[in-house]
Amino acid sequence: MAKVIIIGGGVAGMSAAHELIERGFEVEVFERNPDYVGGKARSVNVPGSDQTVPGRYLPGEHGFRFFPGFYAHVTDTMKRIPMGAGVSVMDNLVSTLTVLISQAENKPILVPVNFPRSLKDVKQLFSGFQAMSEELSEDDIAYFSGRVWRLMTSCQARFDQEYDSISWWDFTGAATRSPAYQKLLAGGLTRSLVACKAHTASTRTGGAIFLQLIYLMLEAGAQRTDRVLNGPTNEAWLTPWYQHLLSSGVKYQRGTTVTALKVDAGKVAGIEFRRDGSAQTEVARADHYVLAVPVERAATLVNKDLLALDPTLANIIKLAPNVEWMNGIQFFLNTELKMHLGHTIYADSNWALTSISQKQFWSNYELKGRGKGDVLSVLSVDISDWESPGDFNQKAAQDCAPEEIKDEVWAQLKAELNSHGTTVLRDDMLSDWHLDSSIVPLDGAMTDAMLEGLTMEEQDKLQKVINLEPLLVNQCNTWKIRPNATTKVPNLFLASDYVKTYTDLATMEGANEAARRAVNGILKATRSKAPPCDVWELRTPWLLKVFRAADFCALMAGNVWRSITGTKGATS
């Protein structure tokens, strides 16, 4: 039985372990976090929040989880994680009913449910945005709709060859459109989905995922556009998964940091690692190795010996800077917060806030006895822009101390929710709060040498926090340098969201798909007779396949995209 060492216990590492153990491999996972598995997907016990009942903590998060209906890989794995009594983790997913785009003193967006068969139908889809702003013109709607229709009818080869080099900002023509167009259509729809800036994010990635969400929204009665867990991530997903892996035979080495990949005789010969609290390094060996850590950490493990075997691994180092911040903050309220049943996008927020009132979906999770004993609701908020000035304090989030971040986010939420004569949030509701533990204050981290020569005013302007777990963003012209799961090193495989996948997005889905590709590489390398892992392409509705086929012929003939519907203005 071949042994596989997996470096990293996030969703990618757990997914690879799951697929491998089912196929008869011996699996050992090395995970840096001593307390939690699941990487960025984890929830945590908020430190010090067991004041009422010892050991009964409030749940904190890196950021809220959501599972759109186009996810196929991670949900397939969830179906194979038992919860007992014939129930799987997949049964812990519940559908949201609405998405609210909030803007002070304006109305939410209405979305029709008929599938768009023409540019005219696409215009109808986005016409509801005009209710959000008097500045958003019919011409803005028509132009953006034309851009979306072009994406819907473009072939995959055009996405790969052309759209990867075009930013979403340029593709949507935002520079020449109205401020409302830039805020609501070109900018807001992307920065709230993932931590990507419209100016730099690749249209290949952003456009493809945007289409998947549109297709889901237009499936009348499907109710799977946006799904969430029915409890904190650990309870509803990660802990049952971890326990299932252990009971299946997966071995875990938690609280271990892998410091090097050792190379000998043309392959990886072992890993060097250090246990928490120890200055000594140890070595572990296996037949095959899966590198399942984020891109910025993987880059630190790419050494000259590996590059001699596979020079393309240098692309991991090139990709490492392509990360942004998207982290969560939770507000624990002493009042039942009955908001609409779904996510809220705050269109006027400079920090690109999105939120969800989670307890509404946690039907069997008891908050009683946690925190100060008065918590009834959990408002979970993601901050996607850490560099723009705050709406009120005029400071970038990364330049704020944690308490300042809390105050500014709370103020931005109140400004948009407390409108139309309705007060949704009050200061006396706030019982406690938690900022993602990956956001670490820089107090005491700056050495005297680093501060030497700086005035007190300059020191005060220094960035106040760092992010230990940023998020990969697929920027322009990076698809071609993204590595495959199988490398030229015969026993080294990659499983992380920077790997080339159909999903092509830094998500749990992308991580799971990458893990499946890595496992398939191991199956091929070992000539295993076990069945390969399933891998699915993104959905293309059959109505659009004719258009895409015609565009592929046009591309092969060297022609630019052109609408074949005969709709005037569609080629703009």
C-alpha–C-alpha distance, residues 519 and 23, integer Å: 10
**pTM of the predicted model as reported, rounded to 2 decimal places:** 0.91
Tell which residue, 146, 126, 139, has the closest CA to residue 567: 146
Q: Which band of pLDDT confidence, cut at 50, 70 and 90, is reported for residue 20?
A: very high
Higher pLDDT: 514 or 101? It is 514
Q: What is the pLDDT of residue 95?
A: 87
Per DSSP, the three-state class of 110 is coil
Q: What is the pLDDT of residue 100?
A: 75
User: Which range has the worst mean pLDDT, 104-113, 370-379, 384-393?
Assistant: 104-113
Q: Please name the fold of domain 326-467.
A: D-Amino Acid Oxidase; Chain A, domain 2 (3.30.9)
Cβ-proximal residues to 366 (8 Å cutoff; 6+ apart), any chain: none
Q: What is the pLDDT of residue 111?
A: 46
C-alpha–C-alpha distance, residues 464 and 395, integer Å: 11
pLDDT digits (tens, 9 = 90+) for 463-486: 788 899 998 888 999 999 999 999
C-alpha–C-alpha distance, residues 201 and 215, integer Å: 21
Is there a contact between 390 and 351 (Cβ–Cβ < 8 Å)? yes
Cβ-proximal residues to 302 (8 Å cutoff; 6+ apart), any chain: 313, 314, 316, 317
For residue 506, pLDDT beyond 70: yes
Residues paired with residue 100 on neighbouring β-strands, in sequence order: 344
Q: What is the pLDDT of residue 566?
A: 44
Task: Mark residue 558 as left, alpha or beta (left: phi above 0; alpha: psi -120 to 50; beta: remaining).
Answer: left
Q: Which band of pLDDT confidence, cut at 50, 70 and 90, is reported for residue 108?
A: low
Task: Mark residue 189 as left, alpha or beta (left: phi above 0; alpha: psi -120 to 50; beta: remaining).
Answer: alpha
Q: What is the pLDDT of residue 450?
A: 45
pLDDT digits (tens, 9 = 90+) for 227-281: 899 999 999 999 999 999 999 999 999 999 999 999 999 999 999 999 999 999 9
C-alpha–C-alpha distance, residues 218 and 290, integer Å: 39
User: What count of Cα atoms within 13 Å lies in the side-chain half-sphere of residue 77?
Assistant: 33
Residue-range domain boundaries for the chain: 3-32+72-93+229-322+476-525, 104-222+548-556, 326-467
For residue 304, pLDDT beyond 70: yes
Helix pair angle (508-525, 11-22), 10° resolution: 40
DSSP string, 535-567: --PPP--HHHHHHHHHHHHHHHTTPPP--SS--
Mean of the per-residue pLDDT values of the chain = 88
Q: What is the pLDDT of residue 457?
A: 61
pLDDT digits (tens, 9 = 90+) for 340-365: 888 888 888 889 899 999 999 998 89
Q: Is 500 exposed, middle or buried (0-12, 13-18, 19+ CB in 10 A)?
A: middle
Tokens of 500: 């080339």
Is 3.40.309.10 the CATH number for 3-32+72-93+229-322+476-525?
no
Q: What is the pLDDT of residue 556?
A: 95
